[in-house]
Chains A and B, each alone.
Chain A
Amino acid sequence: GQNIDQPTEMTATEGAIVQINCTYQTSGFNGLFWYQQHAGEAPTFLSYNVLDGLEEKGRFSSFLSRSKGYSYLLLKELQMKDSASYLCAVIPSGSARQLTFGSGTQLTVLP
């Protein structure tokens, strides 16, 4: 089976840095996605990691360690608009068309 774990909630202050962790146990691995979802809206793509290491994209970075089954999303210079749910999703091998999602981490950014 597939198992993806993320913290349920996190709180941080505007201007700070926050790291959202994701651990996974899946039948094989073909890549990991991070999505952002604001309340009442559709999820939107943030990042994709298939090789180990850090991918940086502006204020957001995503890290992957395949040997540890671990990823994190790093958000720098937090803004109020970053308050959202952050979803980790893994493509297991054997069914490359599908993504399996974690339950999401609700991030609240305080002034």
Chain B
Amino acid sequence: DVKVTQSSRYLVKRTGEKVFLECVQDMDHENMFWYRQDPGLGLRLIYFSYDVKMKEKGDIPEGYSVSREKKERFSLILESASTNQTSMYLCASRKGNTGELFFGEGSRLTVL
């Protein structure tokens, strides 16, 4: 079974702090994604990566950056957290351009 693991299920940070969200997948998938999920807005794509060191902006990249130094690991970085970044963050991976997304359990971030 594909496993996508996110480092933290729950985080509480203060405004201005730097936040790292880590995601690891164990099935050698080329594509990895970071989404945020908010009530009434659904899943919105922040960034995705289709190869090591390669990344593309999604629909809402402002305030975020990403890092993909190894194929299995995709990190989401909030350089200076703000309260409007309080959300559920979901990592996903996918093999090639077909097939389903496999999601991690999610990281619920609260920024105070």
Contact = CB atoms under 8 A, between A and B. Distances in A.
A54 B106 CA distance: 31
Interface in B9-56: 31, 33, 35, 40-45, 48, 50
Interface string B90-108: 1000100111111111100
Given A97-B31, A98-B48, A98-B58, A87 B103 contact: no
Given A48-B100, A98-B58, A101-B42, A43 B48 contact: no
Interface residues of A, number: 22
Contacts of A100: 45
A97 B43 contact: no
A30 B41 CA distance: 23
Q: Is the interface of A mostly helix, strand, loop or mixed?
A: loop
A103 B97 contact: no
Interface string A46-88: 0010000000000000000000000000000000000000010
A102 B35 CA distance: 13
Interface string A16-46: 0000000000000011010100000111110
A31 B100 CA distance: 11
A92 to B, nearest CB: 12
Nearest to A44: B103
Q: Is the interface of B mostly helix, strand, loop or mixed?
A: strand
27 contacts: A8-B40, A33-B100, A33-B101, A35-B101, A41-B105, A41-B106, A42-B4, A42-B103, A42-B104, A42-B105, A43-B90, A43-B101, A44-B103, A45-B100, A87-B43, A89-B101, A96-B97, A97-B48, A97-B50, A97-B94, A97-B97, A98-B58, A101-B35, A101-B42, A101-B43, A101-B44, A103-B41
A103 B100 CA distance: 18
A31 B96 CA distance: 14
Nearest to B6: A42
A23 B90 CA distance: 24
